[in-house]
Amino acid sequence: MGVGYYQALTQWSRGEYAGANNTQDDFAVMQSNGLPLRADDHGNTPGTATVLGGTSSGGITTVSASGVIERASDVDVFAFSAGAGTATFTVSPAARAPNLDAWVGLRDSAGNLLANINPPDALNATFTVNLPAAGTYYLSMQGTGKGDPLTTGYTAYGSVGQYAIAGSFLSPGNQAPKAVITASALRGTAPLTVQLSGAGSTDADGSVVVWAWTFSDVAGTSGAATTRTYATPGIYAVQLQVTDNGGLSAAASATITVDAPVVVLPMRVADIAMSRTVSRRGVAQASAAVKVLDSSSLPVAGATVAGRWSGLVSGN
Ligand SMILES: [Ca+2]
Ligand SMILES: [Ca+2]
Ligand SMILES: [Ca+2]
């Protein structure tokens, strides 16, 4: 053993470094003097894994566990069931005089390594990983070495000791949220200002944490509420996507109809020219030519006029 001054992290060994003059195996010496290594506390394989215990609230399960890497060959495996989404774990060595430099791996139920963490020059490890699907996952702990043991590194020989695990992940069976759009108006005359709110969106087993709005005419925005002003007549689509604290999403949509403003032109009836014709068979036909002028005294094309006859409609 020796002391690695000026190093951020030092580790004890049995003299695997270059030029070592003491290669004594202290574990072997202790055992030969009646100090057997402790029995393993957690299984080494997924089949013998310890199930991580914890509590579930608001769609999030929080777990903790502790254990000991008793020998260099030890692997401690923990199992947990989680929903799809973000999982975060922190592995801490013993608070006092720790020796365990932990390598932590996260595998899915098929044994695929999804993440591993072994920060340089630190004994603790924190990592966040996105679990691709709901299911059972395995966290495995083991001691590790660092770099080249002959120079500035060390082997896993001394990486033993206590550790604590703390983590959180989505509870299995997370339910998707429900998106609800509330609009102050779905139809109106341009310019139309519409207050849009997604505050009525819900999540049965957690909470809505993200509101994302997309519009058919402009770039989208985020937030529980937003305001749009439609200057141009047309039909516009609005979509709201909400995401819960478990990463599941749901969407709702609405259609905003913006009508052209009704134009009222000042106009007047300038003249009505009456005429009457009588056919040989004695049938009389009367007509009225109505002249409609605007405020500039120009004829208004296409003006619709309604009239009603009253009084004498036959005879001279
Ligand atoms: Ca162990
Ligand atoms: Ca073990
Ligand atoms: Ca949920």
The total of structural domains in the chain comes to 3
Measured CA to CA in angstroms, residue 134 lies from 52, 64, 130 at distances of: 16, 20, 11
Q: Write down the pLDDT at residue 315.
A: 47
Q: How far is the CA of 49 from the centre of ligand 2 (A)?
A: 9
**CATH number of the structural domain spanning residue 117:** 2.60.120.380
- Verify that 142 and 226 share a domain, yes or no: no
> pLDDT: is 75 or 302 the higher one?
75
Q: How far is the CA of 85 from the centre of ligand 3 (A)?
A: 11
Residue numbers of the domain that contains 210: 182-259
Phi, psi at residue 237, to the nearest 5°? -100, 140
Residue 9: band (very low, low, confident or very high) from pLDDT cuts 50, 70, 90:
low
What mean pLDDT do residues 14-18 have? 77
Q: Which ligand has an atom closest to residue 163 CA?
A: 1
Q: Write down the pLDDT at residue 1.
A: 47
Q: How far is the CA of 86 from the centre of ligand 3 (A)?
A: 13
**CATH number of the structural domain spanning residue 237:** 2.60.40.10
- Verify that 75 and 194 share a domain, yes or no: no
Q: How far is the CA of 30 from the centre of ligand 2 (A)?
A: 20
CA–CA gap between residue 243 and residue 250 (Å, rounded): 7
- Verify that 199 and 149 share a domain, yes or no: no
| Residue 18 belongs to a domain | no
- Verify that 114 and 216 share a domain, yes or no: no
Residue 41 has pLDDT above 80, yes or no: yes
Single residue among 124, 145, 170 that ends a domain in this structure? 170
Q: Which helix (H) or strand (E) holds 65?
A: strand 60-69
| DSSP string across 201-238 | -B-TTS-EEEEEEEESSS--EESSEEEEEE-S-EEEEE
| Mean pLDDT of the chain, nearest integer | 88
| Residue 193 belongs to a domain | yes
Q: How far is the CA of 313 from the centre of ligand 1 (A)?
A: 113
- Verify that 157 and 39 share a domain, yes or no: yes
What mean pLDDT do residues 277-290 have? 83
